[in-house]
Amino acid sequence: MLRNQNGISVYTVLSIILFAALIFVLAIPNFYNLDKEKNVEDCINNMKEIWVATTDYLRDTNRDFEGDLEILRTTRKATDNSSYYLGSTEYCPETSRQKIEYKVYGKYIADRIGDEIKHNFGVIVYCPNLKDFPTHFLPKIFYENMEPTQLQNYMIDDLDYIDNETGTNGKRKQEMVEKYIEIWRTDENAFDKRREDSTALRAMLFPEKFGM
């Protein structure tokens, strides 16, 4: 049997090298996030958790939410003083080491119908890496069992439209989502416009699609 000067066989050396190489190959997905499907799933689950926390916050406070997740992490629930609206902090697995917060916007609207006031709240959560990972997007099916308000339903349909129109163009998708949020943030008549015409806000985003 071939041995080196220290008496270690060549086969032993080769076995050690092959074992080390195997460990390295198995570790690559953890270091470089090669499991893309799992990353998408994990990112969407993170956004679901944030959406629920923000929705609960809006329901209890009847106010807009401008995206500071620290408020959700440090504010105790109105219905359970022993818990906070948002628990542990999670980040998109694609860039988890950079610790970039998810982007969130919550809109509250008190809709008066006769003598009755109907409380409407809608929440939009999107991945900070949406530009590079366009599949990191909350799917429409997620909201089915969430008992969304009328405002949230408007947002669900419009966001689904944005998703379908932009497809794999992440940069365009993120641009349209941010522009859509800005409409709700700055246009005090956005709710009425959307109620009167289901395409009103979409036309602002994609004027070329609506002959504008």
The model's pLDDT over 133-180, given as tens digits with 9 standing for 90+, comes to: 999 999 999 998 899 999 999 999 999 999 999 999 999 999 999 999
DSSP 178-199: HHHHHHHHH-TTHHHHHHH-TT
CA-to-CA distance for 24 and 55, rounded, in angstroms? Answer: 43
Strand runs labelled E in 16-172: 103-113, 116-126
For residues 24 and 108, membership in a common domain is answered with: no
- Nearest-angstrom CA–CA distance, 91 and 41: 12
Strand partners, 105: 124
Residue 103 domain boundaries: 36-209
Average pLDDT over residues 11-21: 61
Residues 49 and 97 grouped into a single domain: yes
CB 73 within 8 A of CB 101: no
In percent, how much of the chain has pLDDT > 90?
A: 70
Residue 116 and residue 66 share a domain: yes
pTM: 0.81
Q: Are both 81 and 131 inside the same structural domain?
A: yes
> Structurally, how many domains does the chain consist of?
2
**Per-residue pLDDT tens for 20-67?**
666 654 554 554 455 778 999 999 999 999 999 999 999 999 999 999
Q: For the chain, count helices (H), then strands (E).
A: 7, 2
As given in the structure block, the two tokens for residue 206 are 């994609």
Q: How many CB atoms lie within 10 A of CB 77?
A: 15
CA distance 144 to 125: 16
